[in-house]
Structure 1
Amino acid sequence: MLDTNALILLGGLVICLLLSHKQITALYKKIDTGYLKKYLSFSPSSSPAGSRKNSSYGAKLEPLPKPTPLMITPEQVKNYDDRPWRPFRWPYHQTMSIFKLDINHWLDMDKYYWHYIQEKERIWLKYGKENIDWLPGSEDACFELMETVVEHMTARYPLLFTVLEDKGSDGKIIKNELTKEVLDMTLPLKENPLIYVSKLAKEDFYIVKKNPEDGKHYLVAAAVPFPGGSFGIDHKIGKHLDVIHDDVPYYHEKLKKSMERWFERLAPENPVERASWYISWDHKLKVSNVYRIPKFEADTVADINSTDPKEFNVRVERQTLRRLPKSQAIIFTNHPVFYSIEEMKNEPLVPSLIKKIIYEGPKDIIKYKNFEVLRDHISTYLDSLIKRQIDKGIIKEDTPLKTLPTYPFAYWAKTDFDFVNGWLNPTVDKKKFDYSATAKDELVYEDD
């Protein structure tokens, strides 16, 4: 039988899942230091990791797919790119569009790693819990995520993340050889587990847990410095999937029921990935210029009209989903990858597909992705690329416009990525498409 303290704790966790973030915050402020606060706080002195020697932190995970070691050095990372995503479909329908994830590509490495980690630190210091936050009741999932990321990074990239000291159930001390930072993750932790995760991986992380009371999945913790759009985690945390996706076109009509069922069935050994995309003319990670509409509409329109169409890019949101075996939390990762339209100009049908989608795709998706705002400005440029492909014999005027057979990757990536350890972009001039320096100059708004 549960004792009184255990009943209080259990009740508190249920309440946390049912209430909104603001309600939880208000309730938590009323709780005196005691049993409930002790176990739901993430402060270094009172977190479960700091107060319970028998914490599950450090325990052996259930058997999961293991990554293949990729023996690359920090210097070699400078020549690595993400896989060449081309997630353009026609006909264009709103679907989950998921693929089986090779665990080697869960947390990929590329030449922009340093830029992403520096931006994460800048955004955390400036915006704090607007972009990284956790709710009471998410502790087990946060710890397990940290443990999983550490195990993955040290196994996949042994020369990039080295274990300086392994104290077993008391944690590890890791050195990030890319940033030269030593991360002391021994107990008691000095930071929330999500902070350590953000210093290791360039991806954003969403932690979703099922509430047994209503059977729905809720966002209980998140480290999301790079949402791209104008929202912050403070508007999403504590909400269930239906609320989080409320403004996503056709979600309620086409995806709502199937998504809850799919989340229910997702097994730890079957991770998946997908990719979505939109168009912008910057490389900002926190808030793309195109999503400043309508708040900064005047600036946005001026920016569009003054920007060379060749400078526009496709921002691919590369996403993965996997379940953690102990906490049963579902981890959703996302990170943006930028491809300039100019660098794809010789790829058969790519300019044609982009033009078709931004003008003839489902009207709600066109509006949601703000294609209407920029499409007329880049239309002539896209037409010139299409004509160029016809003139060069890359395509014919009557070539059927349809999803490429290599979807969701570029046609020239004739390889099975499940068996490729990393990806060296065969671009001749690698510096041509390295936007790291440019991205820093693009930070001009107060909320960047």
Structure 2
Amino acid sequence: MEYLSSLENLWRVGLILITTAGVYTIITQACRISLFPGVLLRGRKHSTARTPPRSISPDNKTGISPALSPNYDSALPPQRRHALADFSCEAAPWRDVSEEEVRQNLLPMSANYKTSPSDKYTPMGFSVGEIKGLGDFPDYAKLSGVPLPSPYLEFEISKALPRPYRPFRWAYHQTMSLTKLETDWWIELENTYKSRIAQRKELFAKHGKQVLDAMPGSELACKELMEMVLQFVCARYPQYFTLVGKRVLHNKILGTEQDVTAKPPLEILLDNVPEDFGIMLRDDTTGYYFLRAAVICSALGWNVASKVGKQLHEIHEPIPDYKEKMQFSMDRFFTKMPTEKPIQRGSWGLEIGQPLYMPPGDPHEQLRLSQPTDLTIDECHLRVDWQTLRRLPLSGAVIFNFKALFTPIKEFQDEPGVPELVMKIITEGKKNLMDYKGVWHVQHVVLPELKKWAEEQKEKGLVPRNWEVATLDESPWFNGWQNKWHRQQGF
């Protein structure tokens, strides 16, 4: 009996170890997936071209049998209603509420909270009455568990350059490459601010809902996002942004004063923040996430009109290996993501010029179909879509935001390891991923320069002669990036 008891104990221990290993693997893979073809926990995704926010969906298009599809209809994201205890709200005093009560009284995904019963709940466990009681611009740092950024007082918008993101990985395969968000850098401004705002407003005037749209039920998430972003920029860049009376935004860069209640929230963001935002909402019947609102002026190969209303897997459908390697983990990741753990990643591509917005059928697409014989290295740019993903605390919406950053390829020349790493990815990377990225149209010009620069770096001792090409230790940057960045922008 003692022997059998020992065997039983060993079996239990083994089962625990196997289960633990399985959970660890799942978490690891979930963190290394590509949320939107370009989100990774230390890596990246495919192309910057065609990189939209993604969506989810448990139908047959995924290639997964409905019988095998996970059931998320009762899975709520980590609750945040306990944060109400820190607020004094006579209109909606805090009380303990079970998740079961929340599930039974969920606010439908398509319902406008403003006209809904006060006892309906968002997936985060906040009732409509409580949300209205909090009023405009509540303390989102308390509600989300993510602190406001520290003031960046030495920042000068006319000189500011984006940090030199180089999100290159080897071995290169389709993952998300996610890392913890540096919360001070959620919204990063730089010296193209004025021209980008003007360009984005012009795109909206010309294309309308192809770049900005909000479906019914997204009212709370849009307002919440706008308020969080404005709170952020006022805290991060107080020399440039001030909010007076929770209503009037003073933008000293543009020299404007704007009533933030006078326009739809996404248009307020369009007027003041050169960042793209996609809003994913949880469907109250299936538990899957849909793109319900967005302002996106930096899309290559797609636009808001082609993605809005779709589920996560439908949005990512063009991405190589997404269905086979990432769909399951991404769906689960969205279901479980907490507000206090925002993430970041980078997506990249090589471009001729600096194409910001290239919807399907755009003439710029033709440049990808040939290798121009008169193309020069001066015309070739790295495009990085630096992306972040976070959950909003009241609505439970998952926000995907990014901005397109362009860098001349010639900048790689003095960046240790970058030329050889990029050369390795282009020449030996998985063909379907490289095709998706669309690097072929410039590689005839880029590769010879990368090879020359890689040899120069070894001769100068910047890279060891016997270096085995791999993701840089400083990824998503490179050795010495801070010195170069500070020197170039002057502060």
TM-score range, shorter chain: 0.7 to 0.9
Q: Which runs of 5+ in 2 are unaligned?
A: 1-104, 117-130
1:152 and 1:429, CA in 2 relative to 1: closer, same or farther beyond 3 A? closer
Structure 1 CA distance for aligned equivalents of residues 113 and 159 of structure 2: 48
Q: Which residue of 2 is the match for residue 214 of structure 1? A: 286
SS of 2:308 mapped into structure 1: coil
Q: Distance in 2 between matches of 1:148 and 1:307?
A: 43
Contact 1:72–1:157 under 8 Å retained in 2: no
Equivalent residue of 2:198, what SS?
Answer: helix
Shift of 1:268: 1.3
Checking the alignment, whether the CA contact within 8 Å between 2:209 and 2:305 is kept in structure 1 is yes
Correspondence for 2:295: 223
Structure 1: tracts of 5 or more residues without a match: 1-9, 18-35, 41-51, 416-423, 431-448
1:202 pairs, out of 274, 281, 285, with 274
Provide the rounded CA distance (Å) in 2 between the counterparts of 1:241 and 1:122: 29
Instruction: Give 1:91-106 correspondences, 5 Å limit.
Output: 91-106=171-186
- Partner SS, residue 305 of structure 1: coil
Flag the 1:378–1:199 CA change in 2: closer, same or farther, 3 A.
same
User: Is the aligned partner of 1:140 residue 2:220?
Assistant: yes
How many residues are treated as equivalent by the alignment? 369
Written as runs of structure 1 = structure 2, the 5 A alignment for 1:42-441 is 56-61=135-140, 62=143, 63-72=145-154, 76-163=156-243, 165-166=244-245, 171-185=246-260, 189-227=261-299, 229-287=300-358, 300=368, 304-413=372-481, 425-428=485-488
Post-superposition shift, 1:64? 3.1
Matched residue of 1:87: which SS? coil
User: What is the deviation of 1:272?
Assistant: 1.0
- SS of the residue 1:342 aligns to: helix
Report 1 or 2 for greater relative contact order, CA contacts < 8 Å, sequence distance ≥ 6.
2
Q: Distance in 2 between matches of 1:148 and 1:393?
A: 46
Report % sequence identity.
31
Query: Taking structure 1 as reference, are residues 178 and 396 closer, same or farther at Cα in structure 2, changes over 3 Å only?
Result: same
Q: Distance in 1 between matches of 2:374 and 2:361?
A: 16
Q: Quick check: 2:356–2:404 contact (8 Å CA) kept in 1?
A: yes
Q: CA 1:242 to 1:338, structure 2 compared with 1: closer, same or farther past 3 Å?
A: same
Inter-partner Cα distance in structure 2 for 1:65 and 1:81: 24
Residue type at the aligned position of 1:79: K
Deviates more, 1:126-135 or 1:384-393: 384-393
Residues 72-121 of structure 1, C-alpha deviation per residue, up to 9 Å, x if partnerless?
46xx2222211121111111121111111121100012112112211111
Kept in 2, the 8 Å contact 1:310–1:381? The answer is no
Checking the alignment, whether the CA contact within 8 Å between 2:417 and 2:478 is kept in structure 1 is: no
Pairwise CA distance, 1:397 = 4.3
Distance 1:391 1:413, change over 3 A: closer
Distance 1:247 1:428, change over 3 A: closer
Task: Please give the alpha-carbon distance, in whole angstroms, between the structure 1 residues aligned to 2:398 and 2:267.
Answer: 18
> How big is the shift at 1:329?
0.6
One-letter amino acid matched to 1:67 = P
Residue 29 of structure 2 is matched in structure 1 by: none
Residues 100 and 270 of structure 1 are in contact (CA less than 8 Å); yes or no, is this contact kept in structure 2? yes
Structure 2 vs 1, CA of residues 150 and 382 (structure 1 numbering), >3 Å: closer, same or farther? same
Assess if the C-alpha contact under 8 Å between 2:352 and 2:379 holds in 1.
yes
Alpha-carbon contact 1:292-1:300 (below 8 Å) kept:
no
Q: Determine if contact 1:138/1:221 at 8 Å carries over to the other structure.
A: yes
CA contact (8 A) 1:204 1:334 kept: yes
- CA distance in structure 2 between the partners assigned to 1:159 and 1:250 by the alignment: 45
- Shift of the 344–54 alpha-carbon distance from structure 1 to 2, 3 Å rule, reads same
Tell me: CA distance 1:335–1:381, structure 2 relative to 1, closer, same or farther (3 Å).
same
CA distance in 1, matches of 2:336, 2:365: 42
Task: Letter of the 1:181 partner, please give it.
Answer: T
Residues 1:128 and 1:55: Cα distance change in structure 2 (over 3 Å):
farther
Secondary structure of 2:248's match? Answer: strand
- Given residue 352 of structure 1, which amino acid in structure 2 is its aligned partner? E
